[in-house]
Amino acid sequence: MNKLLHHINRREVIFITVLLILTAILILLPTGFQKQEYLFTEGVRAKVISVNNMGIHSSGILKTGDQSAVIEIETGPRKGERVQANNMLTGSLTVDKLFQKGDTAWALIGFDEAGEINFANLIDHYRVDKEILLVCCFALVMILFSGYTGVRTLLSFGFALLSIWKILIPALLRGYPPLLAALAVGNVLTVLTLLLVAGFTKKAYAAIISAMTCSLATCLLAVAFGGSFQIHGAVMEGAESLLYAGFMNLELTSIFQAGIYLASTGAILDLAIDISSALEEIVKNSPDISRAGLVKSGLTIGKSVVGSQTTTLLFAYMGGYITVMMVYMAQGTPLMNILNSKPIAAEILHTFVGCIGLVLVSPLTSLISGFMFCKKEK
């Protein structure tokens, strides 16, 4: 028994070490799409010393014109220097920002051939320090409440984020088949996440098989219903901007369908490990339970969990479209018009394809766990 535990622990240590090395490689790995910086420019953090709003013109809630400000550079070789900066307003609440005295901004400064500053533009408010604080709070809470498992979860979280940013997105931009790329990255992340969270255990293996199978089912459903819904991938935010940026050959519809698969993968693997962990505990406390009894218990557990998980998925998807729904209601748009609109139809597709995948997880995980945890029928 001790030898077995030692072997398992050593295997987990090797696995985590390899994953840490891969994470470090991903951090250093270039995406291949680094922005070519303009010559003689530099991004800096700056403190807003004073503002001048005389150039701003108001039209209702919209503002246009030019806000000028005196800023003090806080980073880079020009730290401590004060310059005049401009903030152009276009009349768009989404894009425009107004600065006040004391704000911290991210600015772009330009130089002439002599190295003197010849312009400064206020890009946006500086938020990186607050973002780092929020991430640290998340990590602290995770470690305090989950201990060593929390540390492994954080490693899984970071690796997943880096994999999507450094591998999946560049692959899509290079024109690789979106569904195949998403399936490859999604399945690898599913395996690594469940092994990190549950270790090299039967419950992890059962959850992996179930999650990968159900995720593949959601992918097929996304393709089938995506085609029948006749929704073009341009419905995604920012999709048309990619076309205008020169990526005319991107398969936006396939990327949209791949996004549906990825969006449901996390919820599916979460439910799979929940059910397999519960069934493992049942077997530990009732080692004489039959395979049929264990499967029945898994189905009973799944009924309650699936109900809450599908509702959670609905909240997650529809929360991002709350303002769209408000616009439709404020305008008195007929229900049939709402249901047939592209944005709402896309969200319906997102939500219910993911929910079908969740519903399938419960019986499949129960069956797989029954065969893996019970060697033979009792």
Per-residue pLDDT of the chain (378 residues; tens, 9 = 90+): 444 444 457 787 888 888 899 999 999 988 887 665 566 788 899 999 999 988 888 887 788 889 999 999 999 888 988 999 999 988 888 888 999 999 999 999 988 877 788 889 999 999 999 999 999 999 999 999 888 878 888 888 899 999 999 999 999 999 899 999 999 999 999 999 898 888 888 889 999 999 999 988 998 998 888 888 888 888 887 788 888 878 888 888 899 889 888 888 888 888 899 899 988 888 888 888 888 888 888 888 888 787 777 777 777 777 777 888 888 888 888 888 888 888 888 888 888 888 888 888 889 998 998 888 876 554
Instruction: Specify the pLDDT at position 56.
Output: 87
Residue 86, token pair as written in the block: 């401009």
Do the Cβ atoms of 42 and 116 come closer than 8 Å?
no
pLDDT at residue 210 in the model = 93
Q: Which of 290, 303, 208, 218 is nearest to 259 (CA)?
A: 218
Residues 166 and 156: their CA atoms lie apart, in Å, by: 15
Contact between 125 and 107 under an 8 Å Cβ cutoff? The reply is: no
211 and 272 in contact (C-beta within 8 Å)?
yes
Q: 113 vs 38, 41, 117, 118, CA distance in Å?
A: 13, 11, 10, 10
Return the pLDDT at 38. 60
Which residue in 79, 84, 21 sits closest to 49, CA to CA?
84
DSSP strand pairing (56-59 vs 62-73): antiparallel
pLDDT digits (tens, 9 = 90+) for 124-177: 999 999 999 999 999 999 999 888 878 888 888 899 999 999 999 999 999 899
Q: Which are the contacts of 39, defined by CB distance < 8 A and separation ≥ 6?
A: none
CA distance 165 to 110: 29
Cβ contact 353:222 at 8 Å: yes
What would the two tokens of residue 163 be?
């994999």
Looking at residue 377, its pLDDT comes to 53
